[in-house]
Structure formats: C-alpha cells, structure tokens
Amino acid sequence: MQILNYTEAHHQYRKRLRDFLSNEVTPYVDQWENDRIVPKSIWQRMGAEGFLCPCISTDYGGMGGDFLYAVIVAEEIARTNHTGLSAPLHSDVVVPYIDAFANEEQKKKYLPGCVSGDIVTAVAMTEPDAGSDLAGLSTTAEEDGDEIVINGSKTFISNGIISDLVIVAAKDPAIDNPYQGVSLYLVEDGTPGFKRGRHLDKMGFWSQDTAELFFTNCRIPKTNLMGEKGQGFYMLMQKLQQERLVTAIAAQAAAELILEWTTDYCKSHTDASDKPISKNQAVLFEIVEMTTEVKLGRTFIDKLIMEHMAGENVVIETSMAKYWCTDLSKRVSQKSLDLHADFGLTEECPIARGFRDLRVMPIFAGTNEIMKQIAGKFMGL
C-alpha cells in the first residue's frame, strides 16, 4: 500500500523523465565527472522537456504541478548516480524563493528562464566564517542612491560556476540585530564587482560545480531587493524546511539505488566455495539489516512528503529526516562498498562514486548536528 497518491500523470512523467535521463544524461556522466561540470545545454534540454521547476505556475511558463513532480525529479536524478545536474537544487530550493517572495516584475523577468533552463540559479548563504550560522553573515549590503552596494565573499556555493542568477544573503551593517538586518538580493551574472573564485576541487560531487563568489563594490539596482528589506533571515528559515526535505528525498533514493546494486551483485557473484555471496550468513544479515532501514526510511519520507504537501508544520520531522536519511545513505554506501570487496575500490564499480558523493550530504543544507539542535529546540528540550 502506497502512502503517496501518484496519479497516472505522475507515473507517465516519471517514465518520460527516466527515459530522458537514460538517453541524455547517463551516457555522458563519466565525461562530466572528468570535466568537473555539466554543460549548460543539458539544463536547457531539461527545461524544454518540462523537467525544471515543475511546480511553477503556468503564468510563468511552468506546468503548475504539485510537489510530487518535484519528488519524482529528485528521485530519478539520484538514480543517475551523479550530482552535477542539480535540478532539485535549482527547481525546489532556489527558485521557490523567487516564486514566494519576488515581486511581479521580478517573477516575470526571471521565472520563465528558470523553467526553460536559460537561467540556472544558485543561493549564496555560506561564508568562510559562517556556515550553518546564518546570523553570523558578514557580507554587507548598503544603499547608495538608487543602488545597493554589496561587499563580501561566499564559499561552497553549488552551481557557483554555471549560475546565471544568484540569490545573495547580505546584511545591513547599520543594524546590530543579525536577525533583522539580513536581506536577499538578486545578482545577475556579469554584474560589475561580482566575480567567481576557485572552482573547488572536492572529494565527491565532481560534476557539481562548487565555487567561491566574491562581491567587491558590487552595484545592483534597488529593484533587485527580493521581498522586504530586513526579512531575509525569516525568508531563509521559511524555505529551509523544503531544502532539507529535498535533501532527505535524494539521500533516500540514493540509498535505495545502492542497496539495489549491492543485492544484485551479491546474488550474482560467487565466493571461494562457488556459492552466491548472498548465501554467506554475515552478508545475508547485512543485506537484511540495510533493507529494513531503507524501508523504514521510505515510509518516513513518504509520510513527511504528504504532510509537507498538506501545509503542516513539520520542522521537527524534516530536521529528523534530513539527518537520519543522509546518515542512512552514508551507512548503506559504506557497508555496500565493503560487500563489493576489491571491486568496490575501482572506478568501474558505481558504489565508489556513490560513496564519495554521499559523504557530504550530512554536512550541507545544515549539518546533521544542527538538525538535531533544531529538532531538540522545537521539542522543548
């Protein structure tokens, strides 16, 4: 019995997306991993097929779908076993800020391009000295006539190289209260004073371009303020729930894929006694234990998706899911790598890439330690 009510339209969308990814993405993943970036053209092909921003209204070029379409995209992209084509980050983390808080003029200017893939987005919160602590931002934004002058730096910004539009969190230095001084600004590629730094070389997420961003007397028009001035912290807090849920969904799907590969490998390969590896009691126990945990994770995630779609306050549960599912994916990848023995150490083995990529998931979107603190706070602990 399924918890989520997928319609025939959802199933057809998933099939069409899976076929698209099989033909247009998977054959090129190894090259993109070597290049450390995906080409802009694949974003545009994704957009042309309706696989970007599926929840955006038809008024701005979207399909006006429900959140289940976003779930489908997150799950199917996770099954490609690469992270470079970070459509869920763009569609379900960054663009929702524009959809929810931008004015009508800004929406008309940017949302159609976000849907088509002509505009790839990023959100710049993390700084060298401020990661999960948003109140510790040091990037400043000061008014100067009809312009805003931004100064500061950001780091570990996903889509940092390829992005055409960046939502930048910056504070008014005249306001001491960090929760009332942060605002969000729209900064376009090519704006004077906006430069990209290093394309960071990472242990995993090879094809996901992660970069430093620098703002030196970067001048943008006042009209590029998104939402109300001083409300940036609260806007970020409002949307972080969905970001953490999307992260948990991707981690859950990745754990399921790795377990599927590992189970098939252990059933089809033999040990020294010429019996399937899965017949070894220790291996059997490992697979059963992992399968149990993965099934528990799926039940938790699906119930949480349903509650999120119903507009319920699930801050506690989302924080729990983000830390538990990302830890689950890390555990499953570690154990699966062990079960593949020497083969697991080769790049030919897909588990190797999954192991590298999943290691960072407990860290981004708020570290898992922060997730526990948030849950504990709202539990009254």
Catalytic residue positions? 243
Which DSSP string do the residues of 336-369 spell out, in sequence order?
HHHHTGGGGGSTTSHHHHHHHHHTTTTTSSS-HH
Tell the residue number behind the tokens 């008024």, with chain if given.
59
Under a CB-based contact definition with an 8 Å cutoff, are residues 141 and 164 in contact?
no
Q: In this structure, how many other beta carbons lie within 10 angstroms of the beta carbon of residue 152? A: 22
Q: How far apart are CA 247 and CA 269, in angstroms?
A: 33
How far does the chain reach from its first CA to its final CA, in angstroms?
35
Which amino acid is it at 345? L
Q: In this structure, how many other beta carbons lie within 10 angstroms of the beta carbon of residue 341? A: 13
Which residues have C-beta within 8 Å of that of residue 188, sequence separation ≥ 6? 164, 165, 166, 220
CA 255 to each of CA 78, 263, 350: distance values in angstroms, whole numbers, following the listed order: 9, 12, 13
**Angle, vertex CA 230, rays to CA 225 and CA 234, nearest 5:** 105
CA 57 to each of CA 9, 53, 107, 116: distance values in angstroms, whole numbers, following the listed order: 17, 9, 11, 13
